[in-house]
A and B are shown apart, each in its own frame.
Chain A
């Protein structure tokens, strides 16, 4: 067969022009990337996820206040809109509060007073912090020029703490608990799922029944039981660690099943048999032939597992058996929104809930796109 003739036999989608990109020499990651880029929703989800992780990484700098900073003078202060035009000149400012007494409940309430102008600046000095525990600074992205003036862009909670700052700081815990938890699940999942899929037989049977047993236990009572076993004397950081362990002890089962399935599917592929006949050792087959073909699938499953972890942490903390103050996570923040009175009076306490929804959706879109792109050879 001549080369010219064979070119005609190629799939027309492959031989068409792709803007000079060389599809013949493109490896799996390149192909997967091209396929992923076509999935617009997933790309958008990916950008949102990256932004949220950046927020989590630079929380101290981005948040106007520290997570625990409170002001007894401004409890349940409503959100202030950020203005840039005061009628005369251009400049960032917020309006201050004046106190009114509600004629029905006789409670003190804050209303925004357009008369009071509080100038706001970028890169202002504020509460000191230690960035990543490395160097000290007191520069914040945004804040009132006079540190004693109030600025609550997303409102304040029952102790007069800034919701914006707390949501930003909460992102760090909530987002990393997902990563760390999934990391541990992944370790257990690859190990047990891999053994189960590769060896099969009795071992597979045992591991699969174990997974079914774990899946059969109602999750919330199991978490509650495990969380109750955490000694109350532990420091918040240790509690954080224990919670991730608890979450991943339940979370590995799904990943283990995905990995077992991939192992079983690939184990009998002709190219794996061919590699065995080439004299490749068992380890070589796993590392050089099997692992690359499911690495992309694993990344996709991991992306889809993170939102489950975030939701689990939120649920646990919301129930009061997960993380505890003074640690700030979205779940801990939502605890504040547990009673109906505060929600009725201060609906901005639900903002962490919105953060959870956006994050989980973005991660799911990203994960779906990654899963579709994961195997560029199936079309």
Chain B
């Protein structure tokens, strides 16, 4: 009896957040069908779905998603990797901090998107330009959070580690890195979000493939349903990246009460 009711409660808990989106979708569908909304401005959800199915069937959709994801992840790997490396170095060694941090902080204050004209001049409108922008956008949130994470490791724990014979790499592996991990992951999560933003802008400038190319192409032919599909795809991919980051947090920070699964 009680088990049944808790199951019902959980089901209800899982369903309630979806009520509003479903209602909005339904209202939108009806409005489009009745003719209050012109399909040139906003096609009905069902048409978006149909466009998606059609593009998926020809394989075109997957091709674009693949190109975009690869682009985003490569940029993330380069920028995030560099950010992690430099963050670890500046966080751990005062000398490196003194030598590098001021320069990096100056560059940080330039919005990466403001560099677009320059980037086009440097790299043309090729793949390189997009990777550069994404790397740059991702770099700083990983860098700053890594630096901050290393610096905010509890000095009492480091002292304890030292007095128990940990030195050099073992101290790093046992105490400093795990202590900084929560902060590093915050940086990664933020970077993943920003990665998609930059990707969208970079792809709409110019591209020969990818979700951005697909939507810009569709705009020229007034295929609003495909444009909308592209926007939705960005949303889904962004959400997926966030879920992945959250799973990492849960796995790596399971010792921390605020991250462990309820």
- Bound pair (A, B): no
A→B interface (CB under 8 Å): none
B→A interface (CB under 8 Å): none
